[in-house]
Amino acid sequence: MPTALITGATAGIGAAFADRLAADGFSLVLVARDGKRLAEVAERLRLRHGAASEVLAADLVTEEGLEAVERRLREGVDLLVNNAGFGHPGHFLDVPAEQEVRMLRLHCEAVLRLTLAALPGMRERDRGAVINVASVAAFFTRGSYSASKAWVVSFSESVAAEMAGTRVRVMALCPGFVRTEFHERASMDTSGIPGFLWLSAENVVREAMRDLARGVRVSIPDLRYKALVRVGRLLPLTLIGQVSRRIGR
């Protein structure tokens, strides 16, 4: 039975990945800070799919948390989903430096270290995959969140190129606005986001798994966002910044 480790597994895209992979016959390692919520998710997956789930409560912005998940990955998994993340409601100059550093540690250092912990075993077995959850914000200019997600995309593409010629796949997943707890937990005002831009976590995961099977290195779920990214690449950065400020993060 294949094993998948998912960070940020208690809600949103992470929970949708857990549900999909449990239905597909994976045993799961569920990672998040809240051990109680992890246990609830594991029980729900057991009742719904008969899935075996290991829970690992860990805060990935701490050295202790990172090391705990690294150790588990070195024991061997078939799929790693680096999904944990958060955002800030304010502008760059309004956010305390320590909070920006926490974001970079979670979005960049944790993704790098966990990917590095998982890949040697996958390469040795010549099978496995890593999905690094970035954001469509990676292609636009809006503070350190966009910058950190752009790093995730570039990093994933680079590692995917290094895995060429093997059966190990690495993919950056770049969803747009998804109806999850993300914006509420970040105290973000979403009233300016047009309704047609919202996606469901389940559809994002379905497209992600399809793209992974096809060998896609950067997955942008939904035709609307694919079009937005293509148009965005043709526009001046100053105009993109203005649009980003109007719509939101």
Catalytic residue IDs: 145
Q: What are phi and psi of 128, to 5 degrees?
A: 135, 175
How many CB atoms are closer than 10 A to CB 4?
23
Cα atoms found within 13 Å of the Cα of residue 180, Cβ hemisphere only = 28
Q: For 163-200, where are the alpha helices, taking DSSP H only? A: 182-185
Q: For residues 178 and 107, give the distance between their C-alpha atoms in angstroms, rounded to a whole number.
A: 18
The neighbouring-strand residues paired with 126 are none
How many CB atoms are closer than 10 A to CB 25?
11
Q: Map residue 202 onto helix, strand or coil.
A: helix
Q: For 126-200, where are the alpha helices, taking DSSP H only? A: 143-162, 182-185
Which residues, 6 or more positions from 100, have their beta carbon under 8 angstroms from its beta carbon?
88, 92, 144
Strands 3-7, 79-82: pairing is parallel
